[in-house]
Amino acid sequence: MKILIVNKFLYENGGSETYIFRLADYFRSIGHEVQFFGMEDERNIAGNEWNILTKNTDFHKKSLGTLLYPFKIIYSREARRKIKRVLELFKPDIVHLNNFNFQITPSIIYEIKKHRIPIFYTAHDFQLICPDHLLYQQSKGLTCEECIKSGFIRCVVNSCIHGSKFRSILGCFESTLYHFLKTYSLIDKVICPSEFLEKKFLGKPVFQGKTVMMHNFIQKTEKQKAVKKGNYVLYFGRFSKEKGITTLIDACKRLPEIPFVFAGGGPLEYLTNDIQNIKKAGFLRGDDLVKIISEALFSVFPSECNENCPFSVMESQMYGTPVIGANIGGIPELLGDGHTGLFFQPTNVDDLVDKISTLWNNKSMLEELTVNCLKTEFDTPDIYGQKLLQLYTQTINKV
């Protein structure tokens, strides 16, 4: 089978890139052909054999070219022209879309359908139903479903996209246009990584009957096994408001006797400076990340936005580390309260302090949760990939 994977970033940038690269590795390992389409970037680790990619569009960089960005994020003639060439040269059986809005634009959907090729889309976030993709008002620090209930104009009213009225207008226009044109009805299957996300998508008639819920897979390095634990509580992820970093920092200040390790970085990293019981480990990957996760007594995932299917929660459990997770979005689907971790109410510092203290001081509970984590099973790339290939085949046969 020939599979064209579309994603705007073709380097390790986040969860969606981990997803596409691991899937491609598996498909190729069993004899399928895989090519990629996305943006040019010196960091790219994937592409296609004809080196046909769209020009890099950086909305944060100021130049004369940025004057055209309001038009480019709505419809990209370049992306449509270039993917047309890739489709003609590769002749894929399936095109699998991932993150494509703004930089690549939905314009490519029309070209793919013109070639009568089935389209799959994995919804890594809420982009197709929320212009800011998070179901979250960053300026107010609140979860939000106003665009689902009252229309995309709410994005403008609340200046949802980076707090900018202009960017929010563009996001609102893009979402309104493609829903009015029913462009997304041309997508054959929408892969939803959580039941929570699927329910939100099913609120839009255009997606009804097209969704399939499949939790994300996770790459296992070895058979799970117990390791010697360190004496710290771990946070690993982005240091930003929507990830709950300020709530966690407040909890750390109130628990000076407990050592915390923070791995990652982001715009609010400066808030961790001079807090005596927080040690910063920086960005970690590969074996270094596995080691710091597996040796933590437990981890904290304090997100305040509606997470979809966070790899961090899955990875922590897989390496035998219980999770204290915010009871929000798709997190409860991955984490068994009292089985592999504990829930707390998002933004509630008192509740978070209580749950951290409880798990830190109750060694028998911690040991039980750790054992349960080591027994937890998630789909691996090969299991997930086989499920996806079956869906591909079923869809191709219906065309």
Read out DSSP for 156-191? HHTTTTTT-HHHHHHHHHHHHHHHHTTGGGG-SEEE
How is domain 2-217+380-398 classified at the CATH fold level?
Answer: Rossmann fold (3.40.50)
- CA–CA dist 272, 4 (Å, integer): 42
235 closest CA partner among 286, 287, 284, 185 = 284
Paired tokens of 210: 């097209």
Q: pLDDT digits over 152-171, tens only?
A: 999 999 998 888 888 899 89
- Confidence band for 59, pLDDT divided at 50, 70 and 90: low
Q: Domain residues of the chain, as ranges?
A: 2-217+380-398, 233-375
Q: Look up residue 283 and give its amino acid.
A: F
- Confidence band for 352, pLDDT divided at 50, 70 and 90: very high
At 224 the pLDDT is 58
Q: pLDDT digits over 221-231, tens only?
A: 554 566 889 99
Distant-in-sequence contacts of 21-28, Cβ < 8 A, 24+ apart: 21/45, 21/46, 22/217, 22/219, 22/381, 23/381, 23/384, 23/385, 23/388, 25/381, 26/381, 26/382, 26/385, 27/1, 27/3, 27/385, 27/389
At 61 the pLDDT is 55
Q: pLDDT digits over 274-312, tens only?
A: 999 999 999 998 899 999 999 999 999 999 999 999 999
Please give the backbone phi and psi of residue 263, each rounded to the nearest 5 degrees, phi first.
Answer: -115, 130
C-alpha neighbours within 13 Å on the C-beta side of residue 76 = 27
- Confidence band for 47, pLDDT divided at 50, 70 and 90: very high
Antiparallel, parallel or unpaired: β 142-143 and 136-137: antiparallel
Asked if domains 2-217+380-398 and 233-375 share a fold, the reply is yes
Correct CATH for 233-375 of 3.40.50.2000, 3.60.10.10, 1.10.274.10, 3.30.56.10: 3.40.50.2000
pLDDT mean over 247-267: 97
Residue 354, C-beta contacts closer than 8 angstroms, at least 6 positions apart: 344
H or E segment to which residue 155 belongs = helix 153-157
Percentage of the chain modeled with pLDDT above 90: 81
Paired strand residues for 237: 264
pLDDT of residue 325 exceeding 60? yes
Paired tokens of 333: 């689907």
- Confidence band for 73, pLDDT divided at 50, 70 and 90: confident
- CA–CA dist 363, 368 (Å, integer): 9
Please give the backbone phi and psi of residue 394, each rounded to the nearest 5 degrees, phi first.
Answer: -60, -40
